[in-house]
């Protein structure tokens, strides 16, 4: 079809067909806008409210400090009933405490419950779900979504002074209590690989 054929085809279009097409276009536009607005609202809610709390590679406090993320005005810390695992008479027990879901806030409570001194310092916790991040723009705002992968790596960097407590507490049980205490607040993500790095 060339330009002349196209001009003849458009020129022979009936006025009623053109009016009907415009009417159908106008009827579907509000529905499309409504669906797009709803999808944008859900995406924003997931990204700044729910999703970072559920599955993330960074703890809440690191996301809040990272300027590449935009959070809602209310950046109150996430408070939850966190199980603190501890050893008592050779048995691993747990006790729930209302704490900020932040490894740096949880660790001192674990340390105290297990009779560990303040010389043992938690340097960092890193959770990698080997997922993918997508970024897009909604009404001029950058939005990020994260899709977790199938395999979770949990890495803790801690002071080597912890090793001094192994003879008294038992290395395996003490490290198990530490892993469970720090991994559970991340909404029960299964840990496929646990790496403990002493510094």
CA distance 148 to 56: 8
For residue 193, pLDDT beyond 90: no
Predicted local confidence at residue 26, as pLDDT = 53
Eight-class DSSP state of 157: E
Percent of the chain with pLDDT over 90: 31
Highest mean pLDDT among 58-62, 139-143, 168-172: 168-172
Predicted local confidence at residue 55, as pLDDT = 46
For residue 7, pLDDT beyond 80: no
Predicted local confidence at residue 8, as pLDDT = 61
Say what angle helices 171-183 and 103-113 make with each other, to 10 degrees: 150
For residue 95, pLDDT beyond 70: yes
- For 18-59, the pLDDT digits (tens) are 666 556 555 544 555 555 555 555 555 555 544 444 444 444
CA distance 80 to 130: 25
Q: What is the mean pLDDT of residues 91-113?
A: 93
Strands (E), 39-175: 79-88, 91-100, 122-128, 132-138, 141-147, 153-158
Predicted local confidence at residue 92, as pLDDT = 94
At residue 120 the predicted structure's pLDDT band, cuts being 50, 70 and 90, is: very high
Domain count, the chain: 1
CA distance 146 to 107: 26
Q: What are the percentages of helix, strand and coil residues in the chain, rounded to 5?
A: 45, 25, 25
Report yes or no: 149 and 132 within 8 Å, Cβ to Cβ.
yes
CA distance 197 to 194: 10
What's the domain range around 199?
Answer: 1-199
Predicted local confidence at residue 12, as pLDDT = 59
At residue 178 the predicted structure's pLDDT band, cuts being 50, 70 and 90, is: very high
């Amino acid at each position: 079809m060339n330009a002349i054929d196209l001009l003849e085809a458009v020129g022979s279009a009936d006025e009623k067909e053109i009016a009907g097409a415009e009417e159908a276009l106008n009827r579907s536009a509000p529905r499309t806008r409504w669906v797009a607005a709803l999808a944008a609202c859900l995406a924003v809610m997931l990204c700044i409210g729910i999703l970072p709390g559920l599955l993330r590679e960074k703890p809440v406090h690191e996301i809040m400090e990272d300027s590449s993320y935009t959070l809602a005005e209310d950046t109150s810390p996430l408070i939850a009933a966190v199980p603190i695992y501890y050893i008592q008479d050779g048995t691993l027990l747990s006790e729930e405490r209302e704490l900020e879901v932040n490894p740096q806030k949880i660790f001192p409570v674990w340390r105290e419950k297990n009779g560990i001194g303040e010389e043992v310092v938690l340097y960092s916790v890193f959770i990698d779900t080997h997922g993918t991040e997508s970024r897009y723009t909604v009404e001029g705002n950058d939005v990020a979504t994260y899709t977790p992968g199938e395999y979770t790596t949990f890495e803790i960097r801690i002071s080597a002074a912890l090793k001094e407590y192994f003879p008294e507490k038992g290395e395996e049980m003490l490290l198990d209590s530490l892993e469970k205490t720090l991994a559970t607040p991340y909404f029960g993500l299964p840990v496929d690989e646990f790496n403990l790095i002493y510094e």
